[in-house]
Amino acid sequence: MISFIAAFQFLTISPAIVRRMFTAQEMGRAVGWFPLVGLALGGVFYGLAGGLNLAFPPLVTAVFVLAAWLLLTRALHFDGFLDTCDGLFGGFTPERRLEIMRDSRVGAFGVAGGGLLLLAKYAALVSLPHLPGLALAPVMGRWVLAMAVFAYPYARQKGLGRDMKDNARWQQAALATVLSAGISWAVAGWMGLLAFALSGAVLWLGAGFILRRIPGLTGDSYGALCEMTELAVLLLFAGSLSL
């Protein structure tokens, strides 16, 4: 139960139930529960959109849902996406890219990438304010987050990401995968499984690109992969409306 609570406290703004620092082992075991955090977030966004649609047009609803998305996740993954854009595109050597990613300041590539990401998410949300894709996107994003921690090398020698990487075992990866696949089918049937497969493709392509620029993933990279997966799933369901 401690690892389950750790997953929620780390990935959301949920109240601190356990009022102490989690151990590295607890954080590693928390990785397996990441998709359930996504399911809880997706349920909130789905319900919020349904309620707001009773009073507002889709354009306004999408703004509130996107704001809630950033607020409830503390913009953790969005911040990682900004730093990743700055580092991967702003440096000329792997060492310099890692140095830029550690810098808390946001540069031109981060601003441009973050703006495009929010715009794309907003456009997708306008198209599907109350469809299964809204509930499923956070699940898939956190499954990719879990698999990135387990399956790919870490670039730095220390840090929270390093602790999770060193203590996440195949059992956590299997748990996250089983949970995500089951939720995908329960929420959206075959479209859910297609979203699951698409998420795997985003992980493979995204992590491969990052590893060509720096010698491993970082906490920022994890956030960027989560954000890109969420966007891909939202666009998949938005695009299905035109078929």
Is the pLDDT score of 176 beyond 80?
yes
State the CB neighbour count (10 A cutoff) for residue 105. Answer: 9
**Residues 70 and 89: beta-carbon distance below 8 Å:** no
Residue 158 confidence class, pLDDT cut points 50, 70, 90: confident
Is the pLDDT score of 7 beyond 70?
yes
* Full-model pTM: 0.95
Is the pLDDT score of 154 beyond 80?
yes
Kindly state the average pLDDT of the residues 193-207.
98
Identify which has the larger pLDDT, 239 or 177: 177
> Where are any strands of DSSP class E within the chain?
none
Each residue's pLDDT tens digit, 14-58: 888 888 888 999 999 999 999 999 999 999 999 999 999 999 999
Residue 192 CB partners (closer than 8 Å, separation 6+): 132, 136, 183, 184, 185, 186
Task: Break the chain into its structural domains and give their ranges.
Answer: 2-238
Mean pLDDT of the chain: 94
Q: Note the pLDDT of residue 242.
A: 64
CA atoms of 84 and 110, how far apart (whole Å): 8
Q: Mean pLDDT check: name the lowest of 6-10, 95-99, 129-133, 139-143.
A: 129-133
Is the pLDDT score of 235 beyond 70?
yes
CA atoms of 131 and 27, how far apart (whole Å): 32
Tell me which amino acid residue 128 is: L
Q: SS3 letters for the chain?
A: CHHHHHHHHHHCCCCCCCCCCCCHHHHHHHHHHHHHHHHHHHHHHHHHHHHHCCCCCHHHHHHHHHHHHHHHCCCHHHHHHHHHHHHHHHCCCHHHHHHHHHCCCCCHHHHHHHHHHHHHHHHHHHHCCCCHHHHHHHHHHHHHHHHHHHHCCECCCCCHHHHHHHHCCHHHHHHHHHHHHHHHHHHHHHHHHHHHHHHHHHHHHHHHHHHHHCCCECHHHHHHHHHHHHHHHHHHHHHHCCC
State the CB neighbour count (10 A cutoff) for residue 106. Answer: 15
Q: What is the CA radius of gyration of the chain?
A: 17
CA atoms of 230 and 83, how far apart (whole Å): 18
